[in-house]
Structure 1
Amino acid sequence: RWLGLCEAARPQACGALVCAQSESQAHVQRQALVRLGFPEGWVRWLDPVQAGLQAGAGVPWGGLWFPGALRVCPGELIAALLGLPGVTRRPAAVDSLAQVADGGWSLRDAEGREVGRADRVVVANALRARTLLADLVTVERLPVLSGLTPLAGQVSLYPAGASDVPRCVLSGHGYCLPPRDGWGVVGSTYRPDVAEAVADEAGHRDILARVQGWVAARDIPWLGRGEAVGWAGWRAATRDHLPLIGAVPDRPGLWLACAYGSRGLSWSALAGDLIGAWLDGEPVPAERELVRRIGLR
């Protein structure tokens, strides 16, 4: 669906290489491909020479090549999605939710004033979902909410000039993206138990150390050179790294979609499809076991 957006927001086909981190992991990757029998047009194994040619940078142990993988630019993509017909944004902070006597939900601010009303509400505010639902659902009814964990992290952006290396997404212990508009991106850090999400020099060093362990950094001319620019933010994650998507128990018309961790765009797109299917009584576009695992268990 995103491929029909304007050019700036449209995902770009570049492929992705999930790089093995050791010879033993490379063996496991090869075994998995044989056992699962996926079509080669979707994923195939590349040995170190093949992987290096594909990426334009040395990859010591090879990896899994996904030729159809896409990369997106979140700022442009999100702006385009928010501008689609049917999407309305209202600048208001919702502090509480209250059931309406004749059905539906009233959205209220910190002073208790109603800022909106709807038959159906999807709570999609990451870690703040715990606070917003605290007066409506007990921990016993929704224990998984108590396990939501905040994880801070940063990415590093380096001036890449005219370089086009790597030529695909490289993923391993961290990741490295093909340059765009003169900038290369590498990530990311995971910082539990911190008060702030900040981008700092320690984070830049951590990211470099992660990536340099499984890719030949000398082949990427911009990596670790020049002055890095940092971006930091928060993730909301569960213990099993799966999201929470489903109807809130015993609260008709109230839904939850959060805990996307590091995969917000992917999971949020699926959450929209799932909740839309449930609301309209359509077949659910996901495997039964996955739906069970991401439910509000």
Structure 2
Amino acid sequence: MTESLLFAPHDLPARWRHKRVFTFVDTTFSVFLSLWQRWRDDDARCDRLHVVALAPLASLDDAPSADDASPLAAELARAWPMRVPGVHRLEFDEGRVVLTLAIGDDVQEMLAKLWLRADAFHLDPAGDPRKLCKSLARFAGDGATVSTIVAGDARAQLERALAASGFACSSSATDAPLTARFAPRWRVRRHEPPLPSDANAHDAIVIGAGLAGCAVSSRLAARGWRVTLIDRHALPARDASGNPAGVFHPIVWRDDSVAARLTRAGFLYTLRRWRALEAAHHDLSRSGAGLLQIADTQEDADALAGAIARFAYPPDYVQPMTRDDASRLAGVDVARGGWFFPHGGAISPAAICAAQLADASALITPRMNTDVARIAHDGRVWRTFDANGDEIANAPVIVLANAHDAARLAHLHGEPTRSVRGQLTVLAQGALDALRMPVIGEGYAVPLGSDGALIGATYDIDDTDREIRDTGHLENIERVAGMLPQLASAPTQVRAGRVAFRCVTSDRMPMIGQLADENAARRDAHQLSGAWPLDLPRMQGLYGAFAFGSRGLVWATLAAELIASQIEGEPWPIERELAEAIDPARFLLRALRHGEIGSA
């Protein structure tokens, strides 16, 4: 299809002019570069252009060349993702052009898993037309347009399926592109696709200046939002985010579970955002040698090697390691084999927070040494109050990124979070001096150069003791010695320690997204006994990003992008089933389904 035929049915660029967001869905994986160029050439273009492209996993093998004569194609080639399934979000032109690649074995199955509001669709008509058109109807915005090349019986079947799903087809010659517009004469869907916040002013409050809060502030500021960032400490990254270093890596399990897919998505998106900060000359103190994970047992090592082969993960994502290979790579003897993440490693959480705030300093107003005692909604804006009842700040949107205190401020059902004490240990130079990279398994060890090595950490559920304990140091040393045997035989000297408190949920998944209106849910408990997440009433303008446990480095940036996308009505950066697994309302939903909450 020529460029004029491609864009004519969608009336581009006229339809995106002066809009905040325009979303184009392409199931042929062929229009992104043309759309991007046309957007660049239009002085009255939309603020943000989203292109959601769907393709089979094998299409990632056909990466564009970085030597391509087209500057845009070369830029796309430099951002090309690893060959792993899932949703990959790539950003260009300072984040104003966003390519969301949804990669899977079945394009129609992958399309059905997304959540977005589309303004235009360019289709590959292959597959079941009824299933395809039902998906289009779930996502179509008012007047959304469709174009595709199809002929013969397939054209007639697609026209019928489009009409049954609420699309009005344009009559044209059978050798011309099939075009349609979403104009349902009856209700064709149960839920409306995402809509942007109706707030006139793009102002938000973020409570908590750790990894979660700084990431949310950064992603909102990237969209032009003004953020008031409130924290009870004098500086950002003081609690768990204040550890001297943290490890980051995806997880590989025998099955591609929800947790594995979510962590993979978070890891890959986080790497892109960190590289952007580093390209802007922010030093994140990120290690560059990769990360080695030691299996708990040899059986686990063998099983995971089989899973890596079965899922055909590329070597730049993960590599299985024998004990000998792992020892050579680590520079010290290891107890068992495992697997190696070339792009995993260690990083300074505080440096990430500082870089995110500095990068968006014009739009972020920190309010440090400020404790939020209460929040309230007056029907228009959210207000925050201190212990004296004085107002701290107000805005139409508020994000709770304050870990243990978030559930209290939001009055969440059933006390869904718990505190886990973690004590880490800094060893003086000695037994682990030869360690070349971070090693994880039953514990973790991070080489700190002349500062020795960081090891840890204990996992003490509901333990509130802030004092450093000798028993905690011994536990850390014993656990790491189970991975790195020479730590048990060489003299060790503890140089320092630190205690921080992780916030976790019973299912070990984070709380990310818009919070439910629990009072309204209680009133309608009977009707919601069979509810799905989209059925729940939600609190206008109230979002959460907390309970990251030990995975804040991997999850925080993706959490921020998901929340910013929900606020702006943009395509979500992960599949809807993954977002539902981390929905802050999931425990309320389970209580409703089990009849634990009765109608008031």
Q: Helix, strand or coil for the counterpart of 1:275? A: helix
Matched with 1:123 is 400
Deviation string, structure 1 residues 20-59 (Cα, Å, up to 9, x no partner): 1222111211121122221122111111111111000112
Q: Mark the CA change 1:238 to 1:33 in structure 2 (over 3 Å): closer, same or farther.
A: same
Matched with 2:506 is 239
* Cα distance in 1 for residues equivalent to 2:568 and 2:287: 32
Instruction: Decide which of 537, 541, 560 is 1:253's aligned counterpart.
Output: 541
Q: 1:257 Cα shift?
A: 1.1
CA contact (8 A) 2:404 2:547 kept: yes
Matched with 1:76 is 351
Q: Does 1:229 align with 2:507?
A: no
Matched with 1:213 is 482
* Cα distance in 1 for residues equivalent to 2:482 and 2:417: 31
Matched with 2:438 is 169
Matched with 1:64 is 339
* Cα distance in 1 for residues equivalent to 2:329 and 2:374: 51
Q: Helix, strand or coil for the counterpart of 2:447? A: coil
Q: 1:181 Cα shift?
A: 4.5
CA contact (8 A) 2:503 2:548 kept: yes
* Cα distance in 2 for residues equivalent to 1:87 and 1:208: 41
Instruction: Decide which of 416, 420, 426 is 1:157's aligned counterpart.
Output: 426
Q: Does 1:98 align with 2:98?
A: no
Matched with 2:583 is 295
Q: Helix, strand or coil for the counterpart of 1:12? A: coil
- The letter of the residue matching 1:37 is A
CA contact (8 A) 1:157 1:184 kept: yes
CA contact (8 A) 1:162 1:182 kept: no
* Cα distance in 1 for residues equivalent to 2:349 and 2:516: 33
* Cα distance in 1 for residues equivalent to 2:337 and 2:483: 10
Q: Does 1:88 align with 2:365?
A: yes
Matched with 2:122 is none
Instruction: Decide which of 7, 29, 38 is 2:304's aligned counterpart.
Output: 29
Q: 1:155 Cα shift?
A: 0.6
* Cα distance in 1 for residues equivalent to 2:551 and 2:397: 25
Matched with 1:113 is 390
Per the normalisation by structure 1, the TM-score is 0.89
Matched with 2:416 is 147
Q: Helix, strand or coil for the counterpart of 2:544? A: strand
**Higher RCO (CA-CA < 8 Å; seq separation 6+):** 1
Moved more, 149-158 or 10-19: 10-19
Greater helix share, 1 or 2?
2
* Cα distance in 2 for residues equivalent to 1:180 and 1:89: 33
Q: Mark the CA change 1:161 to 1:61 in structure 2 (over 3 Å): closer, same or farther.
A: closer
| Alignment root-mean-square deviation, CA | 2.1
* Cα distance in 2 for residues equivalent to 1:116 and 1:97: 10
Q: 1:220 Cα shift?
A: 9.8
Q: Mark the CA change 1:105 to 1:220 in structure 2 (over 3 Å): closer, same or farther.
A: farther
In structure 1, runs of 5+ residues without a counterpart are none
Q: 1:228 Cα shift?
A: 3.0
Q: Helix, strand or coil for the counterpart of 1:151? A: strand
Deviation string, structure 1 residues 257-284 (Cα, Å, up to 9, x no partner): 1101111222211110100111112111
Matched with 2:553 is 265
CA contact (8 A) 1:277 1:284 kept: yes
Deviation string, structure 1 residues 151-203 (Cα, Å, up to 9, x no partner): 00111001227975311110100001122452310010011132323322100
In structure 2, runs of 5+ residues without a counterpart are 1-272, 518-538, 587-600
Moved more, 72-81 or 62-71: 72-81
Q: 1:12 Cα shift?
A: 2.6
Q: Mark the CA change 1:214 to 1:57 in structure 2 (over 3 Å): closer, same or farther.
A: same
Deviation string, structure 1 residues 217-247 (Cα, Å, up to 9, x no partner): 25997xx612331010101101111100111
Q: Helix, strand or coil for the counterpart of 2:499? A: strand
Q: 1:133 Cα shift?
A: 1.5
CA contact (8 A) 2:326 2:338 kept: yes
Q: Mark the CA change 1:69 to 1:39 in structure 2 (over 3 Å): closer, same or farther.
A: same
How many aligned positions are there? 286
Q: Does 1:49 align with 2:324?
A: yes
Structure possessing the higher radius of gyration over alpha carbons:
2
Q: Mark the CA change 1:40 to 1:220 in structure 2 (over 3 Å): closer, same or farther.
A: farther
Deviation string, structure 1 residues 81-108 (Cα, Å, up to 9, x no partner): 232322221132111111124x121111
Q: Helix, strand or coil for the counterpart of 1:122? A: strand
Q: Helix, strand or coil for the counterpart of 2:406? A: helix
Matched with 2:447 is 178
Deviation string, structure 1 residues 98-123 (Cα, Å, up to 9, x no partner): 1124x121111112111100110001
- The letter of the residue matching 1:65 is F
Q: 1:78 Cα shift?
A: 2.2
CA contact (8 A) 1:14 1:71 kept: no
Matched with 1:187 is 456
Q: Percent identity?
A: 31
Instruction: Decide which of 248, 268, 274 is 1:2's aligned counterpart.
Output: 274
CA contact (8 A) 2:419 2:461 kept: yes
Q: Helix, strand or coil for the counterpart of 2:476? A: helix
